[in-house]
Structure 1
């Protein structure tokens, strides 16, 4: 089975740096299903094509764990696995291009965030749902999709089409994003996996889907198929994806985003941008993400050299474990790792490790706290840690009427204890500021509706310096 990635980015051979594979060499890697070969059919400054060819050994597969769903004994030996892209190709992609998928390029780090023109081709891809499904899955991600159904037998056209398509994707985006799209969606189109699906697959899905899956209109279909229709795993994945983007229904993204090159910007990106802008404006150096969850904001904080120390805390050990994997803590460069402190902490209790902060961020945290326990959080953060700046974001409950699929009276997330109106939020923030010696100002996050305000509201607290 074969997959090719081509670019006309100038110089096009930058593709080799991003893939960590030299264009002048053929490289072979052992994988569970056989051998993966990487080579470059073309490599010049004007056009570069990298190819991943997976050579399957079906006999070795049967001698190993094999599968019990072949239907008949000969089917274990006579099948399409050596020829058609499947979860085996996705696994090979994840192993061979692991560093590129993680968005790392040690020799040319500036290339990681470059959106480059790409053409990706998979000549034979099982597609349960036909060419329309391929378009449905890839087009929302910014790809132009050409999916041509392969005839069952070219010599007998009346037999019609097979279940395979020849897929060509054309688009301009980060290579890391493109690889993660393929890693998730190839087995989804096939609707089959060649290995036992375990709870670890949920982590893989959430990690590879970071930044795009939570806002994808077909995220439920993708989750079901990727996780082999294992209901418990699917529910876990959807819950975690919902937490990434505040459990906003699919229609909410379009309602609260602005366009950039005609592509929607999810609300979560608006939040991150607003928080980072406020932190930069404050001049903060030592910053904490309190209630960091799975570390989505932490990665962006670490990307800012101005933040010399980044503290990330959460009460959930599980969330911190996921954050560590998401941030690639084990392989993180030492200079970057030295700036990060990741630890468990409860906002209901004093923690000396949070003292002397320049800034603390409570991004979509307070609405998960029972109102009677908010006073403990206020005391811990504002009264004891006493950062110079505190940023608090929370949903604006007034905006919920703009979400057509959200039933009246329902919160955006099942774990929300409340969703305040603008008046309620400002009343709480004003009283908190007066109690603990802060000034506060309010900023909208997302599109500011003239009637109901913005979908997210943010308060910026600045500690009042007491002079003798």
Structure 2
């Protein structure tokens, strides 16, 4: 397999800067071991005017067979000969994508300590792959690379045999990309789209491939017109992983549409136009008055929850269904919360939360305030008893309705915190969300979304069953017709008071 990356330069900005960006010296030929062969990096040309880096991957077909992943492309899957005689050593595929990620790892991340400004800026690039499988033809190649900023996408079909033109074209193309892009962007596009065009991977697609896809597709995949095809093929048509990737990409798209950070788009919904907290204004001087600052709904929700917890004089708090730890992070910033426990059924979400909180770097005193636990909220758990307050923020709508009584007993009947704060979407407000199709819920994993009346009925039943009082508050703009985007209920135990607990 062979790939070249070329750029041009000037005496002030020589083309040989490409060596710094790739972290490979132009005067050296280097070799790197991979799981299935050897990757070589060399520079056929390296002058101030023009520089070309070549990646040559030598694949051992026998090694592929021995690893149980060498089924041939040219014959039937059960053909013994096809396992050894196939296109794997020659045609660009996931093997080349993996080698690309290993050999040019720093370049893919856009890291270059020597020339950070060059790494961050678009470069004149020319990328060529002589033999690229294209299951969908040259037209598909253009549909995949065309929207990504390249000024020229050439996918020249390779004939089966020049001596017999009547045989027609093979399924391979010679790909040439030309344009001004950041090197990191170009490499990440190749990392994703090489296996997509081949429509195959040489390894088992595990759940962590979703993270790899979103990381490499950052900035371009969410809005790509062929996003569904790319996602499906990259994940080897594993339906569950494809659905997860699609939902997360939709969150990214909605965030970009509203100019928000992804973490602020909880359940694929941003603040929406006009969703500003009362008094959330930026002073611009006495003469200029004040103008409203758009505040993300997720931020408004966290502030409302924190306000309810402070009003309840809670110190020991459970964040039930803590996800990636945004609320836990906010709680840690307030010293009045002395014992914070995040609980989630997803080990992956907890791992992300730990990275977000930087638990491994946290000081001993601060680390002593926070605990992350894996557990299901529909089962009683003795670890969750004895706390001042619990939060169920955007959690209940992710459970099937028949599971809600189990959650009710586990939280209100068994754990029995003094205060419970519950937030959930108000389905009536969905008509104000312009990008949400009529009749759709805000997130693909939502099992239901309640009206204000339905939420109040559920809350009243829970309060009556387990000995709590309940009050309701809007989160976000309280629309006179459809109510707020998020509805919040604050439950307080009626058999005790904060002062009695302290005594």
1:117 aligns with 122
Contact 2:45 2:51 in 1 (8 A): yes
Contact 2:110 2:120 in 1 (8 A): no
User: Quick one: which of 486, 492, 500 aligns to 1:458?
Assistant: 486
User: CA separation in 2, counterparts of 1:356 and 1:398?
Assistant: 33
The unaligned stretches of length 5 or more in structure 2 are 272-295
Distance 1:35 1:5, change over 3 A: same
Aligned-pair CA distance for 1:15: 8.4
User: CA separation in 1, counterparts of 2:213 and 2:459?
Assistant: 35
User: CA separation in 2, counterparts of 1:135 and 1:90?
Assistant: 19
1:241 aligns with 245
1:67 aligns with 71
User: CA separation in 2, counterparts of 1:310 and 1:174?
Assistant: 43
Equivalent runs, 1:319-358 vs 2, <5 Å: 319-320=346-347, 322-323=348-349, 334-335=360-361, 341-348=371-378, 349=380, 352=383
Contact 2:388 2:419 in 1 (8 A): yes
Distance 1:325 1:443, change over 3 A: same
User: CA separation in 2, counterparts of 1:357 and 1:94?
Assistant: 48
Distance 1:157 1:269, change over 3 A: farther
Report SS of the residue matched to 2:58: strand
Report SS of the residue matched to 1:210: helix
User: CA separation in 1, counterparts of 2:152 and 2:127?
Assistant: 10
State the TM-score, normalizing by the size of structure 1.
0.62
Between 1:355-364 and 1:81-90, the stretch displaced more is: 355-364
User: Quick one: which of 133, 138, 149 aligns to 2:140?
Assistant: 133
1:166 aligns with 175
User: CA separation in 1, counterparts of 2:67 and 2:246?
Assistant: 38
User: CA separation in 2, counterparts of 1:225 and 1:245?
Assistant: 15
Aligned-pair CA distance for 1:64: 5.7
Report SS of the residue matched to 2:122: strand
Distance 1:166 1:352, change over 3 A: same
Contact 1:138 1:145 in 2 (8 A): no
Report SS of the residue matched to 2:201: coil
Distance 1:459 1:404, change over 3 A: closer
Aligned-pair CA distance for 1:190: 0.8
Aligned-pair CA distance for 1:88: 0.8
User: CA separation in 1, counterparts of 2:499 and 2:18?
Assistant: 57
Aligned-pair CA distance for 1:37: 3.1
Report SS of the residue matched to 1:418: coil
Deviations 1:123-173 (A, max 9, x none): 232111123323434566777672422442679888765431415275767
Contact 2:320 2:342 in 1 (8 A): yes
User: CA separation in 2, counterparts of 1:17 and 1:353?
Assistant: 53
Deviations 1:74-131 (A, max 9, x none): 6555544333210111222344456776x696x96xx89x965365734232111123
User: CA separation in 2, counterparts of 1:440 and 1:13?
Assistant: 62
Distance 1:439 1:452, change over 3 A: closer
User: CA separation in 2, counterparts of 1:150 and 1:253?
Assistant: 34
2:476 aligns with 443
User: CA separation in 2, counterparts of 1:378 and 1:440?
Assistant: 21
State the TM-score, normalizing by the size of structure 2.
0.59
User: CA separation in 1, counterparts of 2:190 and 2:436?
Assistant: 30
Number of residue equivalences: 428
Between 1:347-356 and 1:129-138, the stretch displaced more is: 347-356
2:33 aligns with 30
Are 1:55 and 2:55 an aligned pair? no
Aligned-pair CA distance for 1:384: 1.4
Equivalent runs, 1:145-164 vs 2, <5 Å: 146-152=153-159, 161-163=169-171, 164=173
Aligned-pair CA distance for 1:208: 1.6
Deviations 1:377-404 (A, max 9, x none): 76389961758xx683536366379899
Equivalent runs, 1:279-428 vs 2, <5 Å: 279=302, 290-292=320-322, 297-298=324-325, 312-315=342-345, 319-320=346-347, 322-323=348-349, 334-335=360-361, 341-348=371-378, 349=380, 352=383, 362-363=393-394, 365-368=396-399, 370=401, 371-373=404-406, 375-376=408-409, 379=412, 384=417, 386=419, 392-394=423-425, 396=427, 399=430, 416-421=446-451, 424=454
Distance 1:278 1:268, change over 3 A: closer
Aligned-pair CA distance for 1:241: 3.3
Equivalent runs, 1:81-96 vs 2, <5 Å: 81-96=88-103
User: CA separation in 2, counterparts of 1:441 and 1:165?
Assistant: 59
User: CA separation in 2, counterparts of 1:305 and 1:360?
Assistant: 15
Aligned-pair CA distance for 1:362: 2.1
